[in-house]
């Protein structure tokens, strides 16, 4: 069973317990994990789990799963999630791109959250960015009709690129995010707001009646 808190195993640089291994390319059984069927929200790149825990606390009727690729951040998330003592939040060590493609069923997410994804600022690193056209298409297909996809980045080049990219994915419509309640902030968001950095925000909705 995952998310039972610190395992007591030494926090080394390599996975030391089964839950610390990267989730392989196979379906994830949300109902078995949470012990119920409820609207699902997925966050990719949970960092220190601030958003994940606050969002789960605010919406107990939804189930929240965070996926975090880095082992050290995964451990941090896992231990914080366990300490929060909520039944509707979990965290998994997984690569978000592989996870959404292979573990999440089409049309199954009420919401997807990606906040401050690694910007990979150098030109030759750009192909490592999580959010590209293929990812957006797959993400759109994993949302329920009317399901929401929220993104935030402080990186101007990433933000500008997304401005154009989100218009190229027909199943997603862009909403005015200022007209909707803001989600709980992440750690990066708090830090960047303090520094006064501009932030690009995207609120996308999966259109009804489209594959
Ligand atoms: C810049 S941090 C932002 C953390 C958090 N979302 C926040 O706003 O405070 C990016 C996080 O995404 C994680 N990450 C990067 N690529 C990922 C991937 N492909 N799958 C899952 N997590 C990823 C990193 O390990 C890191 O924790």
Q: Which residues surround ligand 1 with Cβ inside 6 Å? A: 44-45, 47, 67-70, 73, 95-97, 115-118, 130, 186-189
Domain for residue 116, yes or no? yes
**Helix, strand or coil for residue 92?**
strand
Rounded distance between C-alpha atoms, residue 209 and residue 137, angstroms: 15
CA–centroid distance, residue 46 to ligand 1 (Å): 6
**What's the domain range around 197?**
37-206
Q: Please state the atom number of ligand 1 nearest to the C-alpha of residue 67.
A: 21
**Helix, strand or coil for residue 128?**
helix
CATH number, domain containing residue 102:
3.40.50.150
What's the CA angle centered on 169, arms 166 and 171, to 5 degrees?
A: 115
The set of catalytic residues is: 118
CA–centroid distance, residue 133 to ligand 1 (Å): 19
- Candidate from 25, 47, 152 with most ligand 1 atoms within 8 A of CB, to mutate: 47
pLDDT in tens, 47-68: 999 999 999 999 999 999 999 9
Whether the predicted model's global pTM rises above the 0.75 cut = yes
pLDDT in tens, 136-190: 999 999 999 999 999 999 999 999 999 999 999 999 999 999 999 999 999 999 9
Domain for residue 14, yes or no? no
Decide: 98 and 75 in contact? Cβ < 8 Å.
no
CA–centroid distance, residue 68 to ligand 1 (Å): 6
Domain for residue 12, yes or no? no
Q: How many domains does the chain have?
A: 1
Domain for residue 66, yes or no? yes
pLDDT in tens, 4-16: 444 555 578 888 8
Q: Quick one: pLDDT at residue 10?
A: 52
């Amino acid at each position: 069973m995952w998310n039972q808190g610190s395992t007591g195993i030494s926090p080394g640089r390599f996975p030391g317990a089964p839950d610390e291994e990267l989730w392989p390319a196979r379906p994830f059984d949300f109902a078995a994990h949470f012990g119920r069927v409820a609207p699902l929200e997925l966050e990719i790149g949970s960092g220190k789990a601030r958003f994940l825990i606050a969002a789960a606390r605010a919406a107990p009727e939804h189930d929240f799963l965070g996926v975090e690729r880095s082992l050290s951040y995964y451990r941090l998330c896992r231990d914080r999630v366990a300490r929060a003592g909520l039944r509707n939040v979990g965290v998994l060590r997984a690569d978000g791109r592989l996870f959404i493609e292979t573990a999440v069923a089409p049309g199954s997410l009420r919401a997807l959250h990606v906040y401050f994804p690694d910007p990979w600022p150098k030109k030759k690193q750009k192909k490592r960015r999580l959010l590209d056209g293929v990812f957006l298409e797959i993400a759109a297909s994993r949302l329920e009709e009317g399901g929401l996809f929220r993104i935030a980045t402080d990186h101007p080049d990433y933000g500008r690129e997304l401005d154009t990219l989100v218009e190229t994915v027909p199943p997603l419509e862009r909403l005015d995010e200022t007209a909707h309640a803001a989600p709980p902030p992440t750690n990066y968001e708090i830090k960047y707001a303090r520094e006064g950095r501009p932030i690009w925000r995207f609120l996308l909705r999966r259109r009804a009646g489209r594959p």
